[in-house]
Amino acid sequence: MARVTAEEWIEAAYERFSAQGLAAVRVEAVARDLGATKGSFYWHFADRAELVAAVMRRWEQLETDFVIELVERTGTAEERLARLYDVIVERMGERGGERTLYIGAGADGVADAVARVTERRVSYVAQLLVDTGFDPGEARRRGAAVVAAVIGFQQLAAGGWRAGPGVGTHELTATLLAMTLGREHA
């Protein structure tokens, strides 16, 4: 049997996090997924907390850094904001771990990572709004509202709620953009 690398442990743990939340990232369960032993785990990590920290770094990289890099390839600040909303909705299925992450962050020992990522997201949206002409204070308030709305929507969807007919990706992002920019959506 080939030796399982630290990167493979992180990837398997991240897959569990994405599908079922942070509570699913248990050493025994990830070892089973990999066909590895707990001894293999302890070769690479001191404890579960170290693996969870690596999962949080991966989450930040894939769901914040990557998203921002992708959005930054777009034109004006308003176009980047529209693209950001499209990307968020497109990636909603890949963000399953976030559905419960914010609720259990303190208990799971990841509150600092969640706070750092949330601040980065709010600041990014706020800067886009400043770039469209909002004053920094109003941009900050709207940026916080956008991040809260996205997290709330993820939690509603996780609970089984569906927006209903006529509320597809285009409609959802167009409405969110219009609300953020303070304009009515037609």
* Sign of CA pseudo-dihedral 53, 59, 64, 65: positive
pLDDT at residue 94 greater than cutoff 60: yes
Average pLDDT over residues 110-122: 97
> Binning pLDDT at 50, 70 and 90, where does residue 184 land?
very low
Measured in whole angstroms, how far is the alpha carbon of residue 105 from the centre of its chain? 13
- Give the residue-averaged pLDDT of 80-104: 84
- pLDDT tens, position by position, 96-107: 788 888 888 998
pLDDT of the residue at 73: 96
Nearest to 130 by CA among 120, 140, 115: 140
**3-state SS class at 130:** helix
Topology of domain 56-181, per CATH?
A: Tetracycline Repressor; domain 2 (1.10.357)
Provide the pLDDT confidence category of residue 150 given band limits of 50, 70 and 90. confident
- What's the average model confidence in pLDDT over 116-123? 97
